[in-house]
Structure 1
Amino acid sequence: MVIFPIIIVLSFVLYIYYKVAIIRTNEPLFQHYYQSKSKICLGIFVFFFGINQYLFYETRLSLFIGILFLVIGGLQAWDGIKRTRFYREQAQSLEAYEE
């Protein structure tokens, strides 16, 4: 199952990328947008980390911790998706207003 570590590393790298993008921009709207994108990446990281840990150890304790990680990661990613949609619409309306 080499796909799970690849997804974990990729989501962590994207999380770091969006956190740096927050620092580099001065526009508050885009800072919120990048924050929501980083929440999605963090949620994916936690979600697949929980799956990977269960598949690696296969114990009852890792099952409970994996389920907890699945729930927390899923909620984090879902909240990030909702916020990303909201801030994307705000950015599009801001661009339409400036034209």
Structure 2
Amino acid sequence: MIIFPILIVLSVVLYVYYKVAILKTKDRLTQAYFNAKSRICLGIFLLVFGINQYIFYGTRISLFIGIVFIFLGILQSLRGIRETKHYRSEWRRLNPAD
């Protein structure tokens, strides 16, 4: 399955992109928004890595490790999605003309 390594690399690249974008901007709201987006990418990485871990090895210990990674990935993604929605609506409230 070539899709899992592609998703892993893509999510890591986007995670690093958003973390670097945080350093480039001075606006605190934009920094928080980029941090939420990077949290989504981290969650996707953990989720896909957990699935790939179990598929690749197929042992009982990899199942337990995969379940932990999947659980943490889902939590990170959900928190990132909630924060992204919050900061996007906050930005729209503060900048109605844009």
For Structure 1 versus Structure 2, the TM-score category normalised by the shorter chain is: over 0.9
- How many residue pairs match? The answer is 98
Question: For 1:59-70, what aligned pairs fall within 5 Å after superposition?
Answer: 59-70=59-70
Between the two proteins, what is the percent identity of the paired residues?
A: 57
Residue in 2 that maps onto 1:17: 17
CA separation in 2, counterparts of 1:65 and 1:10?
22
Q: What is the TM-score normalised by the length of structure 1? A: 0.96
CA separation in 2, counterparts of 1:6 and 1:94?
37
CA RMSD of aligned residues (A): 1.0
* Pair 1:79 & 2:69 matched: no
CA separation in 1, counterparts of 2:91 and 2:17?
20
Shift of 1:56: 0.7
Unaligned 5+ segments in structure 2 are: none
Question: For 1:80-99, what aligned pairs fall within 5 Å after superposition?
Answer: 80-96=80-96
CA separation in 2, counterparts of 1:91 and 1:14?
22
Please give the secondary structure, in 2, of the residue aligned with 1:61. Answer: helix
Q: What is the TM-score normalised by the length of structure 2? A: 0.97
Q: Write out the 4+ residue segments of structure 1 that deviate beyond 2 Å after TM superposition.
A: none
